Amino acid sequence: MHSNSKARILVVEDETDLREAMVEFFNMDGYAADGVRGLRAAEHWMLTHGFDVLLLDLGLPDGDGLHWLQSRTDLLDKIVLISTARSTGSDRVAGVRAGAHAYLVKPVALEEMSALVANLLRKAGKAQSPVWHLNATAWTLTAPTGQVVKLTHIEMSLLSCLAGVPGTAVQRDRLVECLGQSPDLYDPRRMEIIFRRLRSKVKTATA
């Protein structure tokens, strides 16, 4: 682990919007995350940076992520998660055999991805030390560094739902129910907007 107690995550993803969203989400979750577009950029980044977790796409512009992972024996001590559109059973088996600790088929909720990372780090003895505090009475979220973020009722409801099962992925339907809505009628894009605004609010307050 690094001296600042933050697990470091490298995201290798060629889709710019997705890569930036993942990096931003992990950073707001208390990790030190960076993102690169392809395999060559990942190799260059690794020359000067240490890291704990690799989040790898497979269909990259400069090569096949799976073949690359199979050739990287230096990653055996890293936590590796594959995030890809490839969904066949043979692809999953090949990913696990190549050393991946988890094989996620897109689209993947960022909350689920972060929960998996936290669980794998904890099992590896690299659990995060920074703690965020949620105050259900004052409707506030306090960062590990002490900054306080005022929450709306909707934001508080979602975070309370997530905080009720720490380290566990919460299904989207359950989050919708926490908002007092029906999963059959609720537009999931509304939740994405809520989380995006919340991440932006927290980022601004803790900058």
Structure confidence at residue 185 as a pLDDT band (50, 70, 90): very high
Secondary structure letter of residue 116 according to DSSP: H
Q: What is the CA radius of gyration of the chain?
A: 18
Would you say residue 2 has pLDDT above 70?
A: no
Render pLDDT for 4-16 as a digit per residue (tens, 0 to 9).
357 899 999 999 9
Count of residues in the chain: 207
Which segments of the chain does DSSP mark as H helices, in order?
16-28, 39-48, 65-71, 89-97, 110-123, 153-163, 172-178, 188-206
Least confident of 65-69, 113-117, 126-130: 126-130
Q: Given this model, what pLDDT does residue 3 score?
A: 34
CA distance 6 to 27: 10
| Residue 126 banded pLDDT, cuts 50, 70, 90 | low
- CA distance linking residue 51 with residue 32, whole number of Å: 9
Choose the most confident range, by mean pLDDT, from 136-140, 141-145, 160-164: 136-140
Q: Residues 17-73: pLDDT tens digits?
A: 999 999 999 988 888 899 999 999 999 999 888 899 999 999 999 999 999 999 988
Is 80 in contact with 86 (CB distance < 8 Å)? Answer: no
* pLDDT above 50 (res 197): yes
Confidence of residue 124 (pLDDT cuts 50, 70, 90): confident
Burial 166-205 (b: 16+ CB within 10 A, else e): eeebbeeeebbebbeeeeeebeeeebeebbeebbebbeee
Per DSSP, the residues of 136-156 read TTTTEEE-TTS-EEE--HHHH
Q: Give the pLDDT mean for 126-131.
A: 55
* Residue 107 CB partners (closer than 8 Å, separation 6+): none
- Give the span between the Cα atoms of 192 and 198, in whole angstroms: 10
Angle at 207 between CA 133 and CA 143, to 5 degrees: 5
Beta-ladder partners of 54: 10, 80
